[in-house]
Amino acid sequence: MLDAPTHQVAEIVGGALYATPRPAMPHALASSLLGSQLIAPFHLGRGGPGGWWIIDEPELHLGDDILVPDLAGWRRTRMPSYPETAYTTLVPDWVCEILSPSTRGLDLDAKRPVYAREGVRHLWLVDPDGRTLEAFELAAGEWSTIAIVADDAVVQIPPFEAASFSLADLWP
């Protein structure tokens, strides 16, 4: 665990320490609302299939890298019991990064390759400024775009295609 000021998020990627400011309000809102759209049907099984752990800002220890995605999810078949530690070494099945001016380069250029290297199956990138969601699936070690949606589009994208929500729900 890294000791960073409470107003920053500390991560180690490729041997470099990144300390970024806590998210701005539009970033925090998009992350919170996306989590709320996924937790009921997938984490709790209300109106959806359940079977997932959906977590805000988990600390991931992946090889020598320490990453803190905005949201991550594990199928309960792979993580049958919830860990009691401050971090996990189990690679998530899904990761979502909310892009912001202060973290965009880190998320796209440094963290995305680590997620691919470690075998995260699904990556979503949400851009509150552009009001978009880009979804990727890992195929042969490379990210393949599976969806790009914007504004008020209905989202029903793997691995969460069993339920839908309006992308407009993520914006103020």
pLDDT of residue 1: 47
User: Does residue 93 carry a pLDDT above 90?
Assistant: yes
Query: Which residue type does 19 have?
Result: A
Domain ranges, ordered by start, for the chain = 23-170
pLDDT of residue 2: 53
Chain segment 110-152, per-residue pLDDT in tens: 999 999 999 999 999 999 999 999 999 999 999 999 999 999 9
Chain segment 36-46, per-residue pLDDT in tens: 999 999 999 99
With beta carbons less than 8 A apart as the criterion, state whether 121 and 110 touch. Answer: no
Which percentage of the chain shows pLDDT scores above 70? 96
Q: Which CATH architecture has domain 23-170?
A: Alpha-Beta Complex (3.90)
- Distance, in Å, from the CA atom of 126 to the CA atom of 70, rounded to the nearest integer, reads 10
